[in-house]
Structures are given as structure tokens and as C-alpha cells.
Amino acid sequence: MNLDEFLERLHRNPRPVVVDFWAPWCTPCRAVEPVLAEVGADYTLRVDVWKVNADEQPELLRALHLYGIPTLIAFHDGREVGRRTGVSTAPALAGLFASALSGQAPAASTPPLAERLLRLGAGTGLVGLGLWSGPSALGWLILGAGGLLAFTALYDRCPLYRALFVRWRDRFGRQQPC
């Protein structure tokens, strides 16, 4: 199947579609399967799930710029609205189904407040310990780990990160098939 045939089928389908690109030899694909079935059951008759064997459709994979499996792509009216590669959690897959249904790109996943506070607290603690322990290799390591941890609590609020992320996504991110 080439890209045009695939898009034609998508357009003809009356419902939004989540396509699972998998392969029989792919262990992570098997890990995703029960999660996909569980989330997909919540969207029965609202979002269809298609499974495409990556080994049998290399041309389609190239056309979709798909370089790893398992990859799940959400389509709304034949247009790609979201994609996830690798083992995904149920909430992440639910977000993908929701975006297939609404036609909107999935909301950026941000850590919940409790998670932010835990990371920020632990990161600040490690930075404090790193500073307190004096100039040693271990001290610098702890300081760096603490800084990184604190950053993971606030990365989505950092204007520099957001600007770089947008550039990176525009340059290397997914290509719209139509």
C-alpha cells in the first residue's frame, strides 16, 4: 500500500483512526497491545484502531517518516493530529485517542503539581548538599544532578527550553502527510 492508497482509506473511513504500526518480532509492540486494547475499548464506535504490520508496508513507513516501532498515529479526517513512538502509558494513549476524536493536537504533557514539588524539593536538596560538601568531584556531580532534577520540575515553563523545543520539533518532528 502506498501513501495515497492509505490516505484514501483514511478519508473513506467514517470515524477518526488510530493506526498502530507494529511487527511480530517487536517486544515493545506486544507490551503496548493490552494498553491499546484497554484504551481503545473506551473509544469503541468513536475511534477505529487499525493495525499495520511494519514489515509488510515499508513504503508506507518511509512515506510517513516512521523510523521506529511501535508507533501509534492519530488521524482525524485523514490528517495526522498526533503520534507516539515507543511504549506508551494508558493516559498517553488516551490523549492520543482524544486528539483523534477532537482533531486537536494532544496537549503537551506537563508534570502534575505534586510531581513538580517533589522534583523541585529533591533537586534543591541535592544542590544544597553539592554546595555544602565543598569542591570535590562527587560534590559537583550531586550539584549537577540536583540542578537537572530541579529543571525537570519546571522545564515546560522555561522560555528558552520552549523556544528551542519548538525549533527542534519543526526541524525534526513529524511531517504532515496531507
Partner 1 sequence: MNPFVKFMASTAGRIVRIVAGLILIALGLLVVHGVGGIVLAIVGLVPLVAGLFDFCVFAPLFGAPLSGPKIRSGK
Shortest Cβ 50–partner 1 spacing (Å): 28
Q: Which is nearer to partner 1, 138 or 163 (CB)?
A: 138
Residues that bind partner 1 (CB under 8 A): 114, 118-119, 121-122, 125-126, 129, 132-133, 138-139, 142, 149
Give 86-93's long-range contacts (Cβ < 8 A, gap of 24+): 86/28, 87/28, 87/31, 87/32, 88/32, 88/35, 89/35, 90/35, 90/38, 90/39, 93/35, 93/36, 93/39
Q: Which is nearer to partner 1, 79 or 116 (CB)?
A: 116
Bridge partners, 58 (sequence order):
none
Query: How many other C-beta atoms lie within 10 A of the C-beta of residue 3?
Result: 14
Shortest Cβ 135–partner 1 spacing (Å): 12
- Does the annotation count 26 as an active-site position? yes
Q: Which is nearer to partner 1, 121 or 173 (CB)?
A: 121
DSSP 71: E
Selecting among 7, 26, 120, 148, the annotated active-site residue is 26
Shortest Cβ 121–partner 1 spacing (Å): 7
Task: Write out the three cell numbers for 85.
Answer: 513512538
Mind telling me the catalytic residues? 26, 29
